[in-house]
Amino acid sequence: MVPNILEAKNKLLQGGYTCVALNDDGIYTSMDRGVKPLLDWISNKCDLTDAYVADKVVGKAAAFLYVLLKVKVVYAVVISEPALITLEKHNIKVSYGQLVSAIRNRDNTGFCPMESSVWDIEDPNIAYETIVRTRNELILKNN
């Protein structure tokens, strides 16, 4: 079966996943929150070239990681304006359920620290380094 965005979206919504990616190599799913699944896919060298991705929440940090993963299409239940601009700038097709000005943090007390960390960045590689550093800082802070 040829993968497509509708198949990825249905699997996301029906399977209880936070993120689903489909390409000719297979199906990648995760129930992890935030950018963790994307960072895992990058560190595990998963080939998501031309993948169709469905994700619950896509902020600018996730958008940069999708650029680095070379996905083809992204569907987001919720996407931020900076994420949409980033994906479109890198020729990734996008559809979404809800467009918001920025992603909020999990406590809804401010903005997502990942999105905030890359807010003024335009280079995907610099964004990646910033995302990894921010994630490590958050892990240390919460332990």
- Among all chains, which residue has been given the structure tokens 């469905």? 54
Q: Which residues pair with 43 in a beta bridge?
A: none
Q: Count CA atoms closer than 13 A to 22's CA, side-chain side.
A: 15
The arithmetic mean of pLDDT across residues 23-35, rounded, is 92
pLDDT band at residue 2 under the 50/70/90 scheme: low
Query: What is the CATH number for 79?
Result: 3.40.140.30
Please tell me the total count of domains within the chain. Answer: 1
The arithmetic mean of pLDDT across residues 11-35, rounded, is 93
CA angle 11, 68, 8 (to 5 degrees): 10
pLDDT band at residue 41 under the 50/70/90 scheme: very high
- pTM reported for the whole predicted model: 0.94
Domain limits at 92? 5-142
pLDDT digits (tens, 9 = 90+) for 79-91: 999 999 999 999 9
Yes or no: say if 65 and 45 are a contact pair by the CB < 8 Å rule.
no
Query: What secondary structure does DSSP assign to 62-128, as a single string?
Result: HHHHHHHHT-SEEEEEEEEHHHHHHHHHTT-EEEEEEEESSPBPTTSSSB-HHHHHHTT---HHHHH
